[in-house]
Amino acid sequence: MEVGQPLPGPYVSTGKISKVVASSNSNLVASFNPALPSRITATVTSIPTGAKPRTVTAWFSVKNINNNGGGNIFFYGLNDCSHYWFSTDVGQYQDQLEINTCGSNQAFSTAININTWYFVTFEYNGTYQIGYLGSGGTLSSPLTSSFVANTEYSPFYIGWGQDPPGYWNGSIADVQVYNTALSTAQIQKLYSEGLGGAPIPNAGLMGWWPLDGNANDYSANNNNGVTTNINWVSP
């Protein structure tokens, strides 16, 4: 098996996207409780920094959005506007999903409903930050903004971020990190596979956390996550 490529296993989905929730080959997903608090921390030494291209994808479901109750789905970088962290959150702007790199604060117009699964992609291609939201069987048009990134290394956090609104309140699954900017067609493929779908082959996979009962990295890069107060629940 070539280093950086996904291992064969039970995560390949042949399901379709319904109008309510993604089909799933995952038996379990990670459940986060901000009151505990809970998060997953992974040390990914090869994660793209500076102005290098990168893509992060994830599935998420939120339990509560009121009073900034959504939290960060993932976060890496320094909480410093001279270096541009890389994060997504729900709750900072009411019931909207936001992609953020300090001051970009781009929010999708689609309202995020509680206890509903969504797909998010956040990438940087060296010039633009680009976000996609998968909802109701449809992948959104790209949300874009031009800026020069200068991201510095930090651990990769799932379910927490240094920027408000902090800890995640809900579930997260199938988090993938690439050292390339995926194409729209590749992102559409990931969304169409549903929750539990396999990564894109030969696309620079750095980390893959299905979160199907553990925080292990199945990319073959051994970036296993450390869990803090995580429960494993049915999708």
The pLDDT, as a whole number, for residue 135 is 94
The pLDDT, as a whole number, for residue 14 is 30
Reference 173, options 131, 134, 222; nearest CA is 134
pTM: 0.87
Q: Which residues partner with 106 through β-bridges?
A: 99
Cβ within 8 Å of residue 24, ≥6 positions away: 13, 15, 194, 195, 196, 235
β-pairing, 128-135 with 143-146? antiparallel
Whether 177 is in a domain gets the answer: yes
Summary count for the chain: helices (H), strands (E): 1, 16
Whether 203 is in a domain gets the answer: yes
Q: Residues of the chain with pLDDT > 70: what percent?
A: 86
β-pairing, 96-100 with 106-111? antiparallel
Domain that holds residue 199: 29-233
- Stronger pLDDT, 71 or 119, i.e. the higher one: 119
- Total structural domains in the chain? 1
Q: How far apart are CA 12 and CA 24, in angstroms?
A: 10
C-alpha pair distances (Å), 59 with each of 78, 136, 145: 24, 13, 23
Whether 99 is in a domain gets the answer: yes
- Stronger pLDDT, 150 or 143, i.e. the higher one: 143
Whether 112 is in a domain gets the answer: yes
Average pLDDT value for residue range 142-155: 83
User: Across the chain, what does the average pLDDT equal?
Assistant: 85
Under the banding of pLDDT at 50, 70 and 90, the label for residue 31 is very high
Query: What type of residue sits at position 22?
Result: A
CA 2 to chain centre: 24
Phi-psi region of 186 (alpha: psi -120 to 50; beta: other; left: phi over 0): alpha
Domain at 190, CATH number = 2.60.120.200
- Stronger pLDDT, 122 or 50, i.e. the higher one: 122
Whether 7 is in a domain gets the answer: no
Under the banding of pLDDT at 50, 70 and 90, the label for residue 24 is low
195-229 confidence digits (pLDDT tens): 989 999 999 999 999 999 999 999 999 999 999 99
The pLDDT, as a whole number, for residue 176 is 97
Strand extents, DSSP E, 27-142: 29-32, 39-42, 54-62, 71-76, 86-90, 96-100, 106-111, 118-124, 128-135, 138-139
Whether 219 is in a domain gets the answer: yes
73-128 confidence digits (pLDDT tens): 999 887 776 667 788 889 776 788 988 877 677 889 999 999 999 999 999 999 99
Whether 204 is in a domain gets the answer: yes
